A and B are shown apart, each in its own frame.
Chain A
Amino acid sequence: MDSDFFIQTLYSLPGVSTLSPWFNGALIIDIFQQMAVLFVAAFLFSRSDAFGLLAKNSLQPRDWLLLYLIFFAISAMGSVLASNVPLTPDGNDWTQVNSRSIGAVLAGFLGGPWLGAAVGFSAGLYRWTLGGPTALAGFIGTTLTGIIAGLVYVLILRRNQEMRFDWKIAVAAACAAELVLKGLVFLTVQPFDKALALVQITTIPSLIGNSIGAALFVTILNDRERFGAAYTTSALRMAKRLVDVLKHGFNERAARAIVNIIRAETRIATVAITDHTNRIMAIAGTGTDHHHVGDEIAADLVQKAIDQQRVIFIDGTTDRLHCAHSAHCPLHSALIAPLTVDGNVRGALLLFEPERRFFPKLNRALGVGVADLLSEQMQLAMYQEQLASAEHKLLVAQINPHFLANALNTVSAVVRTDTARARELLTKLAFLMRKSIKHGNEITTLEQELAHMDAHLSIELARYGDKLQIEKNIEPELMNAQLPSFVLQPVVENAVKHGTSRLLIPGVIQIRAYQADDGLIHIEVTDNAGQYQPKLSTEKGVGMSNVDGRIKALFGSQYGLSVDCVPNQHTTVTITMPFSSGNL
């Protein structure tokens, strides 16, 4: 074949610019058509499960095979879809402007050198079978581009995973691959004029098409990744906040915090939590003008969800919510999930959307997930409560063995000289033992607590003789005040053990109980030692925090124990609680 004729034909192709042989409009349009197909492929790929493989750390052979087939298909599609540009009248000699190298570049770029090489080699081989003067250049070039993109992956991307979806790097890699391909044309096509003509005609369209294709492909993937990441981050943040709230138990305050968190993180129109009587514990969002805390809401549906222990969804179109309180209630679709602990219903989580708003499938899944999370956390909190109560029983059921040994030692000394007193001490000790065996997490009166304390102190007084003085000042009208059992005796025991018993001078313990101006009861135990050092004594810490915890559990977190210590002067432990003389 005459090479002049060949070149002539090439330059006279339709679309070749009269200004320069480098610009060929027809070929550029042709490659854009291929790109359109590529976008569809990218989109489908980004929605498929195979996309997730790219984020995995270790892949199975079948995962590799799947990725190989996908990228090979993209690459081969480039060869198939490309129009052949005839270079001779009989059409036996032709070239292509195609997006074949994109498949190989992306394979190497996203999957590493092995995937890049494999896809490049097979796509190149396929191109070779199609023939034409650039068949050899196409074969070698496509293989090389896969490997080069793979090397880019090894050198840069493996350490900076987020750059994998950076379109600039993708464009650079695609352009580099295309230039390698064109360089190879010079090496494999003779004579030089023919090669130059081929390169001139195909370079610009190839560069434009392939770089835009690569950029758009990774951008589509990036969006999917970013969307997924943002959604996951938000869900995780919400889960963490919910768990934090439930650490302090499930009550109205927690419910209020929960609905606000869910609304802030999901932008669901209205979020509500009902208790086991189907009354609203907390609600936030639209419709709160006629839905109030304490009311019922969607009562029949909540009951149905609770009875059947399943999630109920009302989509708002085939099925509509009917508000019992207002004809103009905007809330039409709802998701109702029961909250159960140990199979017992504790309430329900309700998510609502208004009439014109789509209830996203994602939020439905999220709502079910959140309800599960809440149920599990409530269960956990219940177990912790049981554990704490068991620990408490164990703790208070133990008479301090050191105290017991010394008490018995005291009795054995007293019995030699004063049997009546020894007998009295033994009855006090027996009283203490009985108390510690009997009780649970009971509620008692201040009078009872003082009796318990006195029994303990009578033994301490016998032990320390004139080295210990007790001063009591109790307002008599407080004797019926209710409080948890076993709160006073541990405080007084501490005052001796960690306070006065460390003094070289006589110890004084003052016990005061009075009603302050704010109506609260203050019970103060003061020693003149000033030795309270919380960090140094974990044993003491457990006992005191147990007392504190039980007062808070009964009366609320604003009450409890406080300690005021002036080193070497005095330590005052104060129990603050409301005055309730009725049965709690």
Chain B
Amino acid sequence: MNCHEFWDDLPQKGRDITPAQAAHLAECAACAAEWAPHRALAAGLRSLAEEWRKVEAPPRVEAGLAAAFRAHAGFTAGHSPARSWWTPVFAWAAAMAGTIALATVLMRGYQPAPAGPGRVASPRHTVQSPVEMAVLDADSDDDTSALGEGFVRLPNAPRIEPNDDYNVVRVELPGSAMIDAGIALGEDQAAETVLADVALGPDGTPRAVRLVPDGGTN
């Protein structure tokens, strides 16, 4: 083996040299001198590799991948030409269930507290409505920014936890329902249906809602 062959066939991965290379180093002082720092570098790279082997993708990457996989699988099933007859039925049922759940949450938020026997219910203007309280409560301890801009936590919905896995679905809702959720709408919009993003919590219940800007035309 000559010098050229020695350097052209550097040991892969910086590991041990072959017997032929070792023999060349034994008889070539120039290559031996030049090889010494390469050997030290290889050892350093091994240490760096060992150190870095502990580094892995954070768990949220796997969670995101799982969510994307579910979405991808759902999308594929929805567009499969061989899809079964119940697929659209199921989709509509799920959408209806989501809307009903949202409506229930909103309606429950506005139920006046039952007046006890012999008691007179307080006039509405003297106490904050559950909606107002929920919005104030949300302002104080929630992080709806984790969901995106413009989300408002629904009345009686659990806290928005930044690390929870939320799914956002776009639905049409009556404008009045949005007002109930504490979102300001014009008079003309209040009487119509509007496009809204509803954030569903890990348990599938609606947690927060926002008005889709410009009716989702962007």
**Are A and B co-members of a single complex?**
no
A: which residues have CB within 8 A of B? none
B: which residues have CB within 8 A of A? none
